[in-house]
């Protein structure tokens, strides 16, 4: 009887354990991406491209900066003109609170975003802080330009081959930490 109970537990237990969470660290200062699963680094992409305007904690629509912060993958477009596109849940509360407090976002727009966030819906993508931020490939883009410059309008770009590798570890809900200078170690060690 004890052997039967042990066998049943062994069969059921693995299914009952939660799957390890994968997450992505984008280091905008070093311009690299690392993917972690089961507490271990599983991918490293040493050359990424970010927005032409660099990285910023306080993004504004059209400034072509990549927002710094913690996000989640909110949607996936497998047929993007950039090969694949993993959209982030940007803007988040921290970004819109700053914009509202600085007078660059109206109360109506602030409430529209915060209501969506509270309901766990994708926030509006046409705000004063911008939107449509994500991780994508090159698609028909210029690989040479990608190697030499930051060329996006605020997204994080990697090669199509790297996107295919990334797709094996991420899905809607995966955490993405976009860190600026000096934040990489703190963010990585706090997880």
Residues of the chain with pLDDT below 50 are 1-19, 184-191
CA distance 72 to 119: 15
CATH architecture of the domain with residue range 24-92+131-179:
Beta Barrel (2.40)
Give the pLDDT confidence score for residue 183 in this predicted structure.
Answer: 59
Give the pLDDT confidence score for residue 19 in this predicted structure.
Answer: 46
| CB distance 34 to 47 below 8 Å | no
Write down the mean pLDDT value for the chain. Answer: 86
Domain boundaries, the chain: 24-92+131-179
C-alpha dihedral over 139, 43, 31, 46, to 10 degrees?
Answer: -90
Give the pLDDT confidence score for residue 22 in this predicted structure.
Answer: 94
pTM confidence score: 0.82
Give the pLDDT confidence score for residue 20 in this predicted structure.
Answer: 56
């Amino acid at each position: 009887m004890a052997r039967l109970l042990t066998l049943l537990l062994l069969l059921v237990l693995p299914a009952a354990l939660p799957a390890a969470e994968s997450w992505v660290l984008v280091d905008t200062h070093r311009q690299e991406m690392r993917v972690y699963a089961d507490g271990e680094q599983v991918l490293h992409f040493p050359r990424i491209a970010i927005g032409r305007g660099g990285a910023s904690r306080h993004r504004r629509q059209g400034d072509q900066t990549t927002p710094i912060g913690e996000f989640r993958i909110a949607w996936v477009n497998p047929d993007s003109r950039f090969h694949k596109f993993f959209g982030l849940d940007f803007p988040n509360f921290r970004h819109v609170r700053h914009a509202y407090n600085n007078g660059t976002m109206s109360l109506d727009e602030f409430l529209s975003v915060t209501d969506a966030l509270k309901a766990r819906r994708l926030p509006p993508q046409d705000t004063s802080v911008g939107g449509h931020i994500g991780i994508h490939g090159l698609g028909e883009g210029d690989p040479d330009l990608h190697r030499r410059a930051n060329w996006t309008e605020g997204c994080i770009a990697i090669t199509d081959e790297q996107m295919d590798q990334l797709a094996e570890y991420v899905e809607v809900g995966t955490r993405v930490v976009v860190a600026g200078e000096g934040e990489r170690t703190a963010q990585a060690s706090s997880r």
